[in-house]
Amino acid sequence: MRNCFSKSRSRPTRKLDHGSFKINAARHCNTGTLTTAGYGTALGIVRLLHAQGSLDRVYFTETRPYNQGARLTAYELLTEEIPAQLVCDSAVSALLRSDPMIRAIVVGADRVAANGDTANKIGTYQLAITARYHGCQFIVAAPTTSVDLYTKLGADIVIEERDEAEILVQTGFERQGVLEGRLERVEVQVAPVGTRAWNPSFDVTPAELISAIVTERGIVVKQSDASEFDMNRGGSERMAQKYERNQDASIYVGNLDDRVTDELLWELMVQAGPVVGVHLPKDRVTQSTQGYGFVEFQTEADAQYAVQVMNMVKLFGKPMRINMSAQDRRTQDIGAKLFIGNLDPTIDDKLLYDTFGTFGPMVQMPHCARDQVSGNARGFAFVSYASFEAADAAIQAMDGQYLANKQINVQYAFKKDAKGERHGSAAER
C-alpha cells in the first residue's frame, strides 16, 4: 500500500525515532466489514496502515444523508481502537487546510468504469476536488467485482435518485435513552414541511482526479501523462485474466427489447447474484442494441441460478430467453434434441420450458415452430438438452401424456443432414 502514497506533498511530516513517519488519512462512507466482507476495502487500507504503525489518525465523514460514516464507520473504528475523529461532510476542505499531515483521502466504489471514472456515495466527487486543490492523494479502493469493463465512461452510469425524506427527516436513537442503556429509535423533521430536496445516491468522480485504484489483485495507476486509467491493460492485466477465467459464469440473454440498457439489465440480474459485468452488443453504425446480451456473474452457481429464476421473465412485455453461454459451447453438438408433436396452439416456449425443464438443463430455450407469414403455431416444437440422460428421462415421462388436453408425442428429432436418422443413437452417445 505504500505505493499509493509515493507522491509526497511539500508539507511537514511527523518524524519518528526510527526514521519513518506516520500519516493522517481521511475517508468517506463505510467500506469496512459491515458493508463489504472480510478485511474491508477503503477501511481495510486504514486498518493495514494502523496495524503497520504508519497511521497517526483517521478522519471520517458523517456521510449525509444516511450517516453511514457516523453510524457504521464510527462503530468499526471504535471496535478496532483506531485513533479517529468524526467530521461534518462540509468540513473536509477546512480540515485539509488545517492538518498538513493528512496525506490521502481513501474511498470505496460502487462501480468503476473502464477508464477509471468511479461512482461512489454522494459527496465523493467534492472530496476529490478538494484533495486535488490541497495536493492530497485521492485513492479508490474496490474489489475487482466493482470494475465494469463494459461501461466505458462514468457518464454511462445511471445514478439513482432516492426519497426526499432521507434528507428532510433524520433518524436516530433518543440520547437520554442511550445514556440509560435503552435504544429508542426516533425520527426528527429537520426541514419545514413542504420543502423539496434533491437526493442522488451516488456521484461520479472523473478518473483525472483519482491518484490510484487499489483492488485485491493489485494497484492500478495511470500511464505517463494520461488523465484516465486503462482498466483493460497495464496494472489491471490480472483483472482481464479474471474475466477470461470466469467465462463459465456468463449467461446469454436473448429476445431483449431495444429499450433495455446495460444499467437496466445489471439492476435486474443483480437480484439473482453478484454481477461482474453486462455487455449488450451494438451496431457499429447505428449504435442500436442487437436484441441480446451477456451477463457475467461472480460464480458459475450464481449464473445457473439466474437462468433458473430469470428465464422467460418479461421485460418491456417480451420474455427474456436465458441460458448459460459457456454451456452452449460445450454442449451444442451432443445431439440430445427432442421433437414434441401434436401440441395445442396455445402452448408457448415458456410453458414448454416449465414442463420439460424439470428433467435437466437445456442447451437453449424450447422452440415452438410457427408459420413465418401468419405467426400461427404449427403444432410441434423442439427441446435440446445438455445430456442424453435428461432427454431419455423426458421421453420416458412425457411421451403420450396430455398437455393442454392434447396427447403429445415425444421422441428424438431427425438429424438435419441424415435422412431418416434420428438423434440419440449409440454413435452420438
Per-residue pLDDT band at 99 (split at 50, 70, 90): very high
Catalytic position from the list 99, 110, 230, 399: 110
If 0-12 CB within 10 Å is exposed, 13-18 middle and 19+ buried, where does residue 230 land? Answer: middle
- For the chain, the average pLDDT equals 82
Nearest to 334 by CA among 384, 368, 381, 382: 384
State yes or no: is 110 an active-site residue: yes
Top-confidence residue, 424 or 85: 85
More confident of the two residues 37 and 75 = 75
- The whole-number pLDDT of residue 22 equals 60
* Residue 403 clears pLDDT 60, i.e. is over it: yes
For range 198-204, the mean pLDDT = 95
pLDDT tens, position by position, 157-190: 989 899 999 999 999 989 898 899 888 889 999 9
Predicted local confidence at residue 366, as pLDDT? 82
- pLDDT-derived band at 369 (thresholds 50, 70, 90) equals confident
Q: Which three cell numbers stand for residue 399?
A: 411421451
Q: Which residue has the higher pLDDT, 421 or 109?
A: 109
pLDDT attached to residue 44: 84
CA distances from 315 to 254, 295, 311, 367 (A): 11, 15, 11, 19
Model confidence at 406, pLDDT cuts 50, 70, 90, reads very high
Confidence check: pLDDT of 151 > 50 = yes
385 vs 407, residue with greater confidence? 407
Please report the pLDDT score of residue 384 as a whole number.
87
Per-residue confidence (pLDDT) for residue 38, from 0 to 100: 64
Q: Name the amino acid, one letter, at 301.
A: A
pLDDT at 77 over 90: yes
Of 143 and 169, which is predicted with more confidence? Answer: 169
User: Are residues 105 and 28 in contact, defined by beta-carbon separation less than 8 angstroms?
Assistant: yes
Planar angle of CA 410, 414, 418, nearest 5 degrees: 165
Look at 29-43, 179-193, 366-380 and tell me which has the smallest mean pLDDT. Answer: 29-43
